[in-house]
């Protein structure tokens, strides 16, 4: 959503609540590490009882979906992280070669504009 106060001009909008039942049509996302714990980040397309289709983030405890058929796939050799990003003021997704630190893909500072190496 456009946000004038954001340093990049966009950000998350307000949570919109849809009354259930809701049918989950499709989605994508990741299971990753954040602050030494597992975290999930999913987007979905859903439909209400009148056939109106809408989509967005699946928020824990906020989506009145009864069931979801889900297939998870592991990607060998890659670790997935979500970490706070100062430039976007949000948690961003960082796929990192297994065994490397997430800091190897994150800018050292906004002013320097380059990544550290390990």
Q: Are residues 66 and 24 in the same domain?
A: yes
Q: What is the pLDDT of residue 117?
A: 39
**For the residues 54-66, what does the mean pLDDT come to?**
78
Count the domains in the chain: 2
Residue 11 lies in a domain: no
pLDDT at 104 over 90: no
**For the residues 78-100, what does the mean pLDDT come to?**
82
Residue 95 lies in a domain: yes
Q: Which residue has the higher pLDDT, 103 or 23?
A: 23
Q: Are residues 108 and 79 in the same domain?
A: yes
Q: Alpha-carbon distance 89 to 58, whole Å?
A: 20
Burial class (CB in 10 A: 0-12, 13-18, 19+), 68: exposed
Residue 43 lies in a domain: yes
């Amino acid at each position: 959503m456009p946000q004038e106060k954001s340093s990049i001009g966009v950000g998350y909008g307000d949570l919109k609540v849809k009354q259930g039942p809701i049918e989950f049509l499709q989605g994508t996302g990741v299971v990753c590490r954040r602050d030494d714990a597992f975290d999930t980040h999913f987007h979905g397309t859903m439909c209400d009882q009148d056939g109106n289709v809408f989509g967005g983030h699946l928020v824990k405890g906020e989506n009145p979906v009864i069931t979801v058929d889900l297939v998870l796939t592991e990607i060998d050799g890659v670790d997935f992280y979500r970490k706070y990003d100062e430039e976007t003021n949000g948690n961003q997704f960082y796929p990192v070669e297994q065994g490397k630190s997430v800091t190897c893909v994150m800018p050292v500072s906004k002013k320097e504009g380059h990544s550290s190496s390990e």
